[in-house]
Amino acid sequence: MSIVETNVSLNVHELGVILSALQLLENVDEIHIARDYGSAQALYDKLYSIWQQMDTSQTGLRNDVVPSF
């Protein structure tokens, strides 16, 4: 039996990273993703509606966060 759906707990910052990455996709990347997995825009819309319900009061620039790249 294979898993086709799961739940993942994300905080507002982690969800913001995913939303930002989805916004930065080039058209060619969106086409490749859509071909294999479905619409990136639909995923963005779904995640954004969840993000809007979260406490985003602390989502500004944070000096205590070191980028991982």
- Residue 65 is predicted with a pLDDT of 58
Separation CA 32–CA 37 (nearest Å): 8
| Rounded Cα–Cα distance for residues 11 and 56 (Å) | 10
Q: Which of 36, 11, 33 is nearest to 24 (CA)?
A: 33
- The rounded Cα 16 to chain-centroid distance in angstroms is 6
Could you state, in chain order, the average pLDDT of each consecutive group of 10 residues for the chain (69 residues)? 89 91 95 96 95 82 57
pTM of the model: 0.77
